[in-house]
Structure 1
């Protein structure tokens, strides 16, 4: 089957390309850059997700398109991120409908849900990120879904996936979470915080997207979740997988909340948003993700977190992003 992936050179895109090629599909990769790590046999197209005619040419003859393009930011306001995450979705959807694409799978995010106001448990019916105080990324991901639904109402067959915190191999650019785990594997994380979040292996996200394309119901959302993982536990596992001891101390989130008013502006002066309310929001909310819908309708089942962390550390070593120890340890 001929399929296309927008944002193909990114973190999720790289893993999705690999799984699609291994599954025997003819794959068109749509991005402004070409990944040197993509599998052989992929056809690269320089497409603009804000230009309908560009996307029509890129999607001509495609049966299924996976839309991954998004701008991730912790900023409160970012006009370009808003445009890409909203108009970009609408443009791809309209182009897909115009050229007769059979199905569109949109990769949204758990951040399109208001995690602070879901009552502690988040499912596909939970409140959405509409409040103006919520960072622009979260609000734009929900607005992008609204744009897609408008095209679904005119005849497009599309489904929406909402992954949680994505991590794991393979990653050549290193996401925030993977970067933290690499630092832990290097022995450079002496302390952590008590917070936890639902993290999902990027390879499981790729599998969930494909399953949604095959089995998902038109217009439905599917939370692509992993496992609730404490940050202290995660960095300790990464450190021990690399043969290091890992952090001995962790700080309660209440301490982080108290210092944020001072730490946030200081970090901003040095170009860092690690200690910011936007960065800490998910850990502070820490909702339990109900993945029952994806499990029952898509047959989705995430792998254990220990396996992801062990595989990530091994990948970082083999890809030259982490110095090799004499022997990598099992995750404890």
Structure 2
């Protein structure tokens, strides 16, 4: 199969390109002229891996990139909790999906579209673990990213109802080796924790997220290409836990001390407002913002039993994944223990 990967220069997209190549597929990576492609394989003379320059906000560039491909992996998205211009979430995450769907309709060779959504598109799960049947209540949104992914999810579902060969995937909180982007939030927080810039727990451990290793998400995407049923949703999630447990587990693995106190969320939110002010003055995105805290006030726990049954999805434990991440961060020299 020849696969086109959007968002190939991103955290998940880059790992997906490598995973597809290992499985023997030909890969065309959609990147912008300004993209950092240092984590991507070098283009090969035999055509197993090639770059296509374009942008999901430009439908014409997609038509050229999609030509001759059988499968589209649409992994491109803006993954941030806050942007000074929130309209960018919608131009990329919503209109970008519309463009991908339109270009795919006009490309005769396309057999399947694997769309990377997000657990945020399904909404919070305060007090329970949700499955693929959950639909966002649309009564509240912690972030504009969440709102954009919910709208995009409705577009994808409508396309499926109209017969478009699309499979929708919903990863949890992705962590693991790879690019140290804002999408790799677990690695970023561990760096802050070991550097002493995050001296305590974030809140009191009432949060809950579904943590999943990036390579397990990649395997889930490739399995969805082979086994995913048209129009179906699959949660590619993992172990449901709080960030407090993540910090405790990291301390045990690294044989370092656990945090001795908790930082109330109102303090973190106040700091977030300060960071937003600094961001508006400097133009650099803040490491934390008030919407981040809004997310932490809720639970986002999910079940991946459907993906296990239908796709053969088999996510590793959080402990196993964290051991790998800590060794990787240590090898980079960004943490010490």
User: TM-score, length-normalised on structure 1?
Assistant: 0.87
Pick the aligned partner of 1:139 from 123, 143, 147: 147
Question: How many Å apart are 1:260 and its aligned residue?
Answer: 6.4
Deviations 1:25-58 (A, max 9, x none): 1111111125112234421111121222211110
Given the alignment of the two structures, is residue 192 of structure 1 paired with residue 201 of structure 2, yes or no?
Answer: yes
SS at structure 1 position matched to 2:191: helix
Which residue pairs with 1:108 in the alignment? 117
| CA distance in 2 between partners of 1:237 and 1:79 (Å) | 38
Question: How many Å apart are 1:187 and its aligned residue?
Answer: 4.8
Question: How many Å apart are 1:110 and its aligned residue?
Answer: 0.3
Structure 1 gap ranges (5+) = 326-332
Deviations 1:211-267 (A, max 9, x none): 11211111111111111122122123334544532423335xxx42x5567455334
Q: Over aligned residues, Cα RMSD in angstroms?
A: 2.4
Structure 2 gap ranges (5+) = 280-285
| CA distance in 1 between partners of 2:99 and 2:287 (Å) | 31
Change (3 A) 1:179 1:230: same
Question: How many Å apart are 1:151 and its aligned residue?
Answer: 3.5
Change (3 A) 1:35 1:246: farther
Q: Is the 8 A contact 1:21 1:39 kept in 2?
A: no
Which residue pairs with 2:283 in the alignment? none
Q: Is the 8 A contact 1:180 1:235 kept in 2?
A: no
| CA distance in 2 between partners of 1:315 and 1:135 (Å) | 30
Change (3 A) 1:225 1:241: same
SS at structure 1 position matched to 2:231: coil
Q: Is the 8 A contact 2:273 2:289 kept in 1?
A: no
| CA distance in 2 between partners of 1:235 and 1:37 (Å) | 28
Counting only pairs closer than 5 Å after superposition, residues 32-51 of structure 1 correspond to structure 2 as 32=32, 33-40=35-42, 41=44, 42-51=49-58
Given the alignment of the two structures, is residue 78 of structure 1 paired with residue 86 of structure 2, yes or no?
Answer: yes
Question: How many Å apart are 1:300 and its aligned residue?
Answer: 1.0
Q: Is the 8 A contact 2:194 2:336 kept in 1?
A: no
Pick the aligned partner of 2:317 from 289, 304, 307: 304
Pick the aligned partner of 1:215 from 227, 241, 259: 227
| CA distance in 2 between partners of 1:134 and 1:196 (Å) | 15
